[in-house]
Structure 1
Amino acid sequence: MKYAFPDNFWWGSASSALQTEGAREGETTWDYWFAREPNRFHNGVGPQQTSTFYQHWKTDIQLLKQLNHNSFRTSISWARLIPDGIGEVNPDAVDFYNQVIDELNEQGITPFITLFHFDMPMAMQEIGGWENRDVVDAYARYAQICFELFGDRVLHWFTFNEPIVPVEGGYLYDFHYPNVVDFRRAATVAYHTVLAHAKAVQAYRAGHYAGEIGIVLNLTPSYPRSQNPADVKAAHVADLMFNRSFLDPVLRGEYPADLVALLKSYDQLPACKPEDGFLIAEGKIDLLGINYYQPRRVKCRDSAVNPQAPFMPEWFFDNYEMPGRKMNPHRGWEIYEPGIYDILINLRDNYGNPRCFISENGMGVENEQRFIENGQINDQYRIEFISEHLAWLHKGISEGCNCLGYHMWTFIDNWSWCNAYKNRYGFIQLDLETQKRTIKKSGEWFAATALNNSFEKES
């Protein structure tokens, strides 16, 4: 069967500043944490050891062109542009990002730029990070500077990438710095992130720039174990906390009433100011980026909550491992392609069918060298992964969903937060010793798909 996509469909990939650039200027929380606890990082490999985009941006953009990308998302590093978060702009950073943006445009690759992809300047974290409203204002200033510097050539902006992840990692589950376990502080971080987003949207609108502004959310559809009311309620609470806590403010301009009521009943609401509601209502977006990797399967709790334990989302549900589920054994994640369709249908039916695109989807695999044939990684598993997801995406579009593109994570194997290079995601293999880039079989497949705006697959 042939799957053809709409004209002007966005074909590309995504990356981030911290994971690719190297040549660090301006300390981030990651640099600080790695210097103090390298044991928390896979094989002790820290954020200095990246795919060296700072040196190789020009040849890397040529490779993007070779893969027939018509669009590419990366981020600007706040710590590179304004090392202390609030002071002088670094002219070297301005030159670098100008060159990257100009070269992308010159090669016919539309730049999609994210303002914050987990890389908090350490100077901002030292005054409380997203717990401090002064950091919200500093971020809004940083966003405005970016719009003024690059807004004439960047027409697709994103305030945050996966804003739930710093909340979960840094303030609930101890997998990102500052390693706090405190729901109320997590809720404050999430709330202030939404305020920061809304202030950036406000600044963008006020500048009357030619493009559009949005946000990138990692959406994990919450599937109940069964239709038993207890399981359905558990899935609803998981959805409220992990999806709708950001989805509703940015698309509807307000929080779900049942989420507010739930947190209020447990005294977990962040401190709010009367004018916040007006600001959040002004943060409604033009374009939603959707990162989809895996579903969330939940059931009602089987045991009573320990009243002495910290308040957690898991007070309301247990995770559920569905028998017979398809797994990526290398990453430990379930592969569930219809999830991408379910997300789009939910947006169509419950959120007014917003302009959206798949901003990340990908498959991390360990030790890919074992799949080398004639000097090239034969990652047929990745081709199958992408094509299965694209088939469900195509179904959503055919049923009226307003999805404009598909970006893969990622372009070149890159450094991953605490996992370093354990799992590889790229279309292009990176040799860490030599920094040599070699296109994998999936890269060739994607280049052909993008060129033809379609692919063939046995149905």
Structure 2
Amino acid sequence: MPGHPSPTSMGLQFPEGFIWGAATSAYQIEGAAAIDGRGPSVWDTFAKTPGRVRNGEHGDVAADHYHRWSTDLDLIKELGLRSYRFSIAWPRVVPGGSGPVNRKGLDFYRRLVDGLRERGVTPMVTLYHWDTPQELQDAGGWENRDTAYRFAEYAAVLAEALGDAVPNWLTLNEPKTIVQNGYLYGSHAPGKQDQAAAYVVAHHQLLAHGLAVQAMRPHLGPQTRIGPALNLHPCYPADDTPEAQQATVLFDGYENRLYLDPILKGHYPQDVLADVARFSPMSEHIRDGDLEVISSPVELLAVQYYCPIYVTGAGETVRKHPTSEAFWQQIYPEGMYDILTRIKKDYGDIALTITENGLPCPDVMGADGTVQDTGRIAFLRDHFAATHRAITDGVNLESYHVWSLMDNFEWQEGYDERWGLIYVDYASQQRTPKASARWYSGVIDANGL
């Protein structure tokens, strides 16, 4: 991008061919919630339930990407991004979650993929970023095993329609977030607080992942890759006591191993299953053959890193680092190195991509028409440096997608938190690249810091 500042040199060069990108999700940016045949999702319902979302906001318009996609892709090209990770809205393609395919919805994503390729940007598609069709939710949602099979049917539709034009496919985005925020805390759709159901939901989502992998394969060439997108939190003892050490192992099981082990090793962690049995019938829902399905071979693991977790001997969490505007986010770049190297140590040399990492900032448009988000630049610089060290130490990381491309609907926080490289004026829908976007362009041009 002309005029972008040179990044402060740290003397760090990334490997030749390393891919820099950014990420979004459908409900957070698309808008057009009831246009061209899109059906309602659980997030449409949740956001319009009084008291659920800050300021009563919702995603009906969001950043209006559905109508502005072409100019948004021009911005992606202008910034120099090599990869764009986005999600497809299940209710836009299969409005009821099963049954007839909405061709207008499918055509939108065809245009998006073609538009990216025409601009020299590689599309990376996430099939599911939390927007379960409401009709499926009414039938039990992820508590209902049948939803996993409906997801696999939907995945096959997309694989057949887009095929190898998308070289990297991601099945589920952060199943853990639905388990925790959607079913334990109730802060995300569907807004339940049901410990027993939460871990049944975990199993059915993992089953859906495996079924989708199997359903997509016949429609994709041998070079096209599939994997899950998991938010992983390095867990550390809050002190040196044996109790904290022990509690941290179990906490890590809930945060990381519960999702990594079945997908990459073909079994659930036994310590977690034993603990879950105290309050959830999860194990009763694991049928013969399920783990073979869940562990269907994948070629790619998408890692999303935001913060570490520190665990006390009582199994509670404490904060050890400064937090961002997001109350839950401790800023600790070293955690990026730790989680990446841990994956290689425990799960082998699978190809990795970072599909989310970013920071909300109090971004304000200045009188000169610029947004000086220096805090975001510092955050990204430090996390890029930690990533570089992991690569130097042998981690097979091939790409990095900053969260997020543009400001958007931030779930229960509505539009209060701004995570984007691009500033969105929601009244006018005008887009303005922030200082971080111009800095990031420099990193991409140099392929280094």
TM-score, with length taken from structure 2:
0.94
Number of residue equivalences: 434
Structure 1 match to 2:20: 11
Structure 2 match to 1:432: 426
- In the alignment, the residues of structure 2 paired with residue 173 and residue 237 of structure 1 have an alpha-carbon distance, to the nearest angstrom, of 19
Structure 1 residue 329, shift from structure 2 partner: 4.7
From 267, 271, 279, the equivalent of 1:254 is: 267
Alignment CA distance shift 1:172-1:396 (3 Å): same
Tell me the amino acid that sits aligned with residue 32 of structure 2.
A
Tell me the amino acid that sits aligned with residue 360 of structure 1.
E
Write the deviation string for residues 20-48 of structure 1: whole angstroms up to 9, x where unpaired: 1111121001112233x232111111111
From 230, 234, 251, the equivalent of 1:217 is: 230
- In the alignment, the residues of structure 2 paired with residue 348 and residue 247 of structure 1 have an alpha-carbon distance, to the nearest angstrom, of 12
Structure 1 match to 2:7: none
Alignment CA distance shift 1:233-1:97 (3 Å): same
From 218, 239, 243, the equivalent of 1:230 is: 243
- In the alignment, the residues of structure 2 paired with residue 103 and residue 238 of structure 1 have an alpha-carbon distance, to the nearest angstrom, of 43
1:100 and 2:112 are equivalent in the alignment: yes
Within 5 Å, give how 1:155-234 maps onto structure 2: 155-209=167-221, 210-234=223-247
Residue 112 of structure 1 aligns to a residue whose secondary structure is strand
Contact preservation (8 Å) 1:331, 1:365: no
Structure 2 match to 1:277: 291
1:401 and 2:413 are equivalent in the alignment: no
Structure 1 residue 152, shift from structure 2 partner: 2.8
Structure 1 match to 2:66: 54
- In the alignment, the residues of structure 2 paired with residue 268 and residue 102 of structure 1 have an alpha-carbon distance, to the nearest angstrom, of 45
Structure 1 match to 2:5: none
Structure 1 residue 414, shift from structure 2 partner: 0.7
Structure 1 range deviating more: 224-233 or 253-262? 253-262
Within 5 Å, give how 1:38-117 maps onto structure 2: 38-117=50-129
Residue 16 of structure 2 aligns to a residue whose secondary structure is coil
Alignment CA distance shift 1:103-1:48 (3 Å): same
Structure 1 match to 2:375: 381
Tell me the amino acid that sits aligned with residue 110 of structure 1.
T
Q: Which runs of 5+ in 1 are unaligned?
A: 302-316
- In the alignment, the residues of structure 1 paired with residue 179 and residue 275 of structure 2 have an alpha-carbon distance, to the nearest angstrom, of 18
Tell me the amino acid that sits aligned with residue 17 of structure 2.
N
- In the alignment, the residues of structure 2 paired with residue 149 and residue 181 of structure 1 have an alpha-carbon distance, to the nearest angstrom, of 37
Structure 1 match to 2:316: 318
Write the deviation string for residues 184-238 of structure 1: whole angstroms up to 9, x where unpaired: 2111000000100000111223334241001111111111112311001111111
Identical-pair percentage? 38
Structure 1 residue 331, shift from structure 2 partner: 4.3
Structure 1 residue 274, shift from structure 2 partner: 1.4
Within 5 Å, give how 1:340-419 maps onto structure 2: 340-366=336-362, 368-369=363-364, 372=366, 374-419=368-413
- In the alignment, the residues of structure 2 paired with residue 281 and residue 97 of structure 1 have an alpha-carbon distance, to the nearest angstrom, of 28
- In the alignment, the residues of structure 2 paired with residue 281 and residue 169 of structure 1 have an alpha-carbon distance, to the nearest angstrom, of 25
Structure 2 match to 1:291: 304
- In the alignment, the residues of structure 1 paired with residue 355 and residue 264 of structure 2 have an alpha-carbon distance, to the nearest angstrom, of 17
Structure 1 match to 2:256: 243
- In the alignment, the residues of structure 1 paired with residue 431 and residue 280 of structure 2 have an alpha-carbon distance, to the nearest angstrom, of 52
Contact preservation (8 Å) 1:330, 1:365: no
Structure 1 match to 2:31: 22
- In the alignment, the residues of structure 1 paired with residue 45 and residue 245 of structure 2 have an alpha-carbon distance, to the nearest angstrom, of 42
TM-score, with length taken from structure 1:
0.92
- In the alignment, the residues of structure 1 paired with residue 142 and residue 267 of structure 2 have an alpha-carbon distance, to the nearest angstrom, of 20
Structure 1 residue 247, shift from structure 2 partner: 1.1
Contact preservation (8 Å) 2:361, 2:373: no
1:451 and 2:449 are equivalent in the alignment: no
- In the alignment, the residues of structure 1 paired with residue 294 and residue 51 of structure 2 have an alpha-carbon distance, to the nearest angstrom, of 39
1:420 and 2:434 are equivalent in the alignment: no
Structure 2 match to 1:122: 134
Tell me the amino acid that sits aligned with residue 441 of structure 2.
A
Structure 1 residue 373, shift from structure 2 partner: 5.8
Tell me the amino acid that sits aligned with residue 12 of structure 1.
G
- In the alignment, the residues of structure 1 paired with residue 176 and residue 402 of structure 2 have an alpha-carbon distance, to the nearest angstrom, of 20
- In the alignment, the residues of structure 1 paired with residue 153 and residue 27 of structure 2 have an alpha-carbon distance, to the nearest angstrom, of 21
Alignment CA distance shift 1:253-1:43 (3 Å): same
Contact preservation (8 Å) 2:242, 2:313: no
Tell me the amino acid that sits aligned with residue 251 of structure 1.
L
- In the alignment, the residues of structure 1 paired with residue 51 and residue 42 of structure 2 have an alpha-carbon distance, to the nearest angstrom, of 16
Contact preservation (8 Å) 1:217, 1:289: yes
Contact preservation (8 Å) 2:197, 2:280: no
- In the alignment, the residues of structure 2 paired with residue 269 and residue 289 of structure 1 have an alpha-carbon distance, to the nearest angstrom, of 25
Structure 1 residue 9, shift from structure 2 partner: 1.0
Structure 2 match to 1:139: 151
Write the deviation string for residues 50-109 of structure 1: whole angstroms up to 9, x where unpaired: 111101100000000111100000011110001111111111112111110000011110
Q: CA RMSD in A?
A: 1.5
Structure 2 match to 1:307: none
- In the alignment, the residues of structure 2 paired with residue 375 and residue 281 of structure 1 have an alpha-carbon distance, to the nearest angstrom, of 50
Contact preservation (8 Å) 1:331, 1:423: no
Write the deviation string for residues 112-147 of structure 1: whole angstroms up to 9, x where unpaired: 000000000000000000111111111110000000
Tell me the amino acid that sits aligned with residue 318 of structure 2.
Y
Structure 1 range deviating more: 330-339 or 71-80? 330-339
Structure 1 range deviating more: 186-195 or 46-55? 46-55
- In the alignment, the residues of structure 2 paired with residue 390 and residue 178 of structure 1 have an alpha-carbon distance, to the nearest angstrom, of 34
Tell me the amino acid that sits aligned with residue 7 of structure 1.
E
1:335 and 2:347 are equivalent in the alignment: no
Structure 1 match to 2:3: none
Tell me the amino acid that sits aligned with residue 298 of structure 1.
V
- In the alignment, the residues of structure 2 paired with residue 109 and residue 62 of structure 1 have an alpha-carbon distance, to the nearest angstrom, of 10
Contact preservation (8 Å) 2:241, 2:313: no
Contact preservation (8 Å) 2:236, 2:309: yes
Structure 1 residue 365, shift from structure 2 partner: 1.8
- In the alignment, the residues of structure 2 paired with residue 298 and residue 319 of structure 1 have an alpha-carbon distance, to the nearest angstrom, of 5
